[in-house]
Amino acid sequence: MARVFIYGTLKRGQPNHKVLLDGANGRAAFQGRGRTVEPYPLVIAGEHNIPWLLNLPGQGRCVAGEIYVVDEQMLSFLDEFEGCPDMYQRTPVRVTVLEWEGRQGTPEEMPATDGTLQCFVYSTASYAPEWVRLPHHDNYDSRGEHGLPYNPRENR
């Protein structure tokens, strides 16, 4: 099992969340909500208005998202779904837990005493240089005030 921090179209209420619910892809269980410990640039870019977390720790904003525990099958599915390693790269990130619904079990299952967890996140180090100058967001919503509606895969 692995922890994944979800910040974009896979979050609950967003266009691609359904793939986390599809048991054919593997298992994913919501654990809680969190925010990256370090700031990162979260931008909306490209012709399909895709959210991208640029792998530039220390720049941008602390980004809100959801924490899931996934099995190996779902992790492999997410790698393929996210175009890993070409579009996104699966990298470790430290997340401050804001709300926790996960198991109250072993220390490995719980946030650390400082309220943080290590998770995987799909960020990118391969992006157009001008993306760094796009507006940075701290919380993604495909229908947000940014005015950049996401173009779902099935419409492309």
Maximum distance among all Cα pairs of the chain, rounded to whole angstroms: 45
What are the CB-based long-range contacts (under 8 Å, 24+) for 72-79? Answer: 72/1, 72/2, 72/26, 73/25, 73/26, 73/27, 74/20, 74/25, 74/26, 74/27, 74/28, 75/2, 75/4, 75/26, 75/120, 76/26, 77/19, 77/25, 77/26, 78/4, 78/122
Q: Give CA–CA dist 111/132, Å, rounded.
A: 31
Task: Please count the other Cβ atoms lying within 10 Å of the Cβ belonging to residue 109.
Answer: 14
Question: From the candidates 38, 47, 66, 82, which is the catalytic residue?
Answer: 82
Contact (CB, 8 A) for 140 and 26: no
Q: Is 82 a catalytic residue?
A: yes
Active site residues per annotation: 82
